[in-house]
Amino acid sequence: MSKKHFGTDGIRGRVGVSPITPDFVMRLGYAAGRVLTNIDSHLAKGAHPAVVIGKDTRISGYMLESALQAGLSAAGVDVLLTGPMPTPAVAYLTRALRAQAGIVISASHNPFEDNGIKFFSAEGTKLPDDVEHAIEAELDQPMQVMESARLGKAKRIEDAGGRYVEFCKSTFPSTLDLRSLKIVLDCANGADYLVAPHVFHELGAEVITIGNQPDGLNINLNCGSTHPQALCKAVLEHQADLGIAFDGDGDRVMMVDNQGNLLDGDQLLHIIAMHRQQRGWLRGGVVGTLMTNLALEHAFGKANVPFSRANVGDRYVLELLNERVWQLGGENSGHILCLDMHSSGDAIIAALQVLHALHDSGKTLAELGAAIPLYPQVLINVKIQKRIDIKANPTLQSAVQAAELELKNDGRVLLRASGTEPKIRVMVEGVNREQVQDIAERIAEVVRQVTL
């Protein structure tokens, strides 16, 4: 059954345009409060359930936080406010404070004009589809305010940042430190701007921070993991050992070596996986996505590391990890999940895992990154006039099969429809860049012809 409002990562859109409006978000808070907290059961026992609310640094966060708070209070739910806090911090605090749910107000790597609402269960995990369906069903019901004596209260968690900093530090071996490293952090003018510098500084590193002056309008603006050019430049200017870039809500990470070269999520995942395998810590295999570079799959094959692909989206990576009872997975965008460390993807924790690998190997980030040169990958977004079933279209399938024969075992082709735009994404990768570009353009033209 399709969902009306929820996408792959909560509810997201342009602020002021449905559903990201104060009235809808207030009703969403009420509906989520009723579904996520088993409210009737709690109130029958004379107890108020609690929900943690965190947000990134967008100016619209103030408005949406107030709307959520009003809806939850009307449902009889107490609210614990963290202020600006990374998404994985809210997942952690939800578990640590024994709250019934966590809510993050963020549009992740999107520009400041967008915002969104995403939820965590009491265990600090993304909500399964059936719970999101239940919240949407509750949204269709009339909103009824609890009697005054049963309304929820709001409280600010004054030590939220400090709690999360200590949690992140606890995932790095207590016998190690970062005293030999000069690190540049790019906090994307987002949710990591307060906590991330403390984590790396308290572990001993010399820390230089950029993207740490949020004004409500500059989140992800020419900075962070989606615009790493500023970090590459800063690493070279400061002659740093490496750089770390976060996205606006702190669940994606990219890194830059001392030569100014960018390492994406695939390369970082490879470094973490191989370190764990060498130390005997890798449980099972590694999960990537349909967009994971083929070079990573080939590298894991040579190292006898099991590898599986999930659909694009960290929630699908998490689902497959749980299904396989594995611990490590991620996306090339920088979402990396280390389930032995945290219940959700966490950019700071993933970066610390890479730094642990650097320490144990005695190598630089440039040397570890060079172990897996990525294959050229070409992505063409084709605007379409009408939606079609890609798998059922013989013309498209014939074009894909011909391309795969041409690439042999040294490449692959992926066609997938965008979930948010009238586009089909054509991705081709292989060893030879010119060949990959040529095949991608040919298939894109076939897509245009069959969707006219």
308 is catalytic: no
Q: Could you give the strand order of the β-sheet that contains 423-430, starting from the edge strand earlier in sequence?
A: 377-383, 423-430, 411-417
Tokens of 158: 């004054």
d(CA 329, CA 288): 6
In the 8-state DSSP scheme, what is residue 381?
E
Instruction: List the catalytic residue out of 60, 106, 108, 343.
Output: 108
Query: Sign of the C-alpha dihedral, residues 129, 92, 179, 228?
Result: positive
- Alpha-carbon gap, residue 163 to 155, rounded angstroms: 16
Q: Taking the CB of residue 181, how many other CB atoms lie within 10 A of it?
A: 19
| Residue 55, H or E segment | strand 50-55
| Coil vs helix vs strand at 102 | strand
Could you tell me which of 51, 64, 61 has the C-alpha nearest to residue 24?
A: 64
Q: What three-state secondary structure class fits 88?
A: helix
Residue in this structure with the two tokens 């948010």, named with its chain if needed: 420
Q: Where are the alpha helices (DSSP H) in 238-313?
A: 265-279, 294-302
Contacts with 161 (C-beta within 8 Å, 6 or more apart), sequence order: 82, 85, 89, 194, 195, 198
What is the SS3 assignment for 127-188?
A: CCHHHHHHHHHHHCCCCCCCCHHHCCCEEECCCHHHHHHHHHHHCCCCCCCCCCCEEEEECC
Max CA-CA distance within the chain? 71
Concatenated DSSP letters of 320-371: HHHHHT--EEE-TTS-EEETTT-SS--HHHHHHHHHHHHHHHT--HHHHHTT
- Residues 277, 273: Cα–Cα separation, whole Å: 6
Amino acid at 294: L
Phi, psi of 115 (to 5 degrees): -155, 175
Collapsing DSSP states into helix, strand and coil, what is residue 79?
strand
Give me the helices (H) in 4-49, please.
Answer: 22-36, 39-44
Question: Looking at the annotation, which residues are catalytic?
Answer: 108
